[in-house]
């Protein structure tokens, strides 16, 4: 099922999955960490069912590239489980949870959620964005941790 956000989308993620993203990001410091989000869409709400923690082959604190073989295996698993690819996540080790110019430039899927976890403060901050670079729009998605 495909869904294009017209305004602000809503996204639900389990506390255990939020904790997994934070742990993955901290374990990859000082570099950015990355991964994929999979789940289902119900009544216009994206519900994250599975997090795929993947390798940042760039090994950089300022950008990431997902390991291609790991990404392919994750997509195969998403299909096998009957889930939808919902988007991706990455961390910002020392900057706010907002898309950088590079994040916007590389946002090719206008249906994806682009989740960013900032570790710049003591308490991690997770935000999600809907990016339509062709329209020049970046909208914040409402995240509910359940």
Domain assignment present for 135: yes
Enclosing domain of residue 37: 10-145
110 contacts 121 by C-beta, under 8 angstroms: no
Residue 32 belongs to some domain of the structure = yes
pLDDT value for 9: 75
Examine residue 56 and state whether it is found in any structural domain, yes or no. yes
CATH number of the domain at 51, please. Answer: 3.40.140.10
Residue pLDDT, tens place only, 8-31: 678 999 999 999 999 999 999 999
pLDDT digits (tens, 9 = 90+) for 80-131: 999 999 999 999 999 999 998 889 888 988 889 999 999 999 999 999 998 8
Q: Answer yes or no: is pLDDT of 3 > 90.
A: no
Residue 122 backbone class (left: φ over 0; alpha: ψ -120 to 50; beta: rest): alpha
Q: What is the pTM of this model?
A: 0.90
Tokens of 81: 């489980």
Asked whether residue 124 is domain-assigned, the answer is yes
For 28-52, write each residue's pLDDT tens digit.
Answer: 999 999 999 999 999 889 999 999 9
Domain count, the chain: 1
What is the model's pLDDT at position 137?
Answer: 82
90 in any annotated domain: yes
């Amino acid at each position: 099922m495909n869904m294009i956000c017209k305004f602000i989308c809503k996204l639900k993620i389990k506390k255990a999955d939020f904790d997994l993203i934070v742990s993955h990001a901290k374990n990859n410091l000082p570099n950015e960490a990355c991964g994929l989000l999979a789940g289902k869409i119900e009544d216009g709400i994206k519900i994250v069912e599975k997090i795929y923690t993947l390798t940042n082959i760039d090994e950089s604190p300022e950008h990431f590239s997902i390991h291609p073989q790991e990404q392919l295996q994750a997509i195969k698993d998403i299909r096998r489980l009957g889930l939808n690819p919902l988007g991706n996540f990455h961390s910002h080790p020392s900057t706010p949870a907002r898309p950088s110019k590079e994040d916007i430039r590389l946002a090719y899927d206008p249906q994806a959620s682009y989740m960013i976890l900032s570790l710049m403060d003591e308490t991690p901050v997770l935000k999600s964005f809907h990016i339509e670079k062709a329209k020049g729009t970046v909208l914040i998605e409402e995240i509910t941790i359940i």
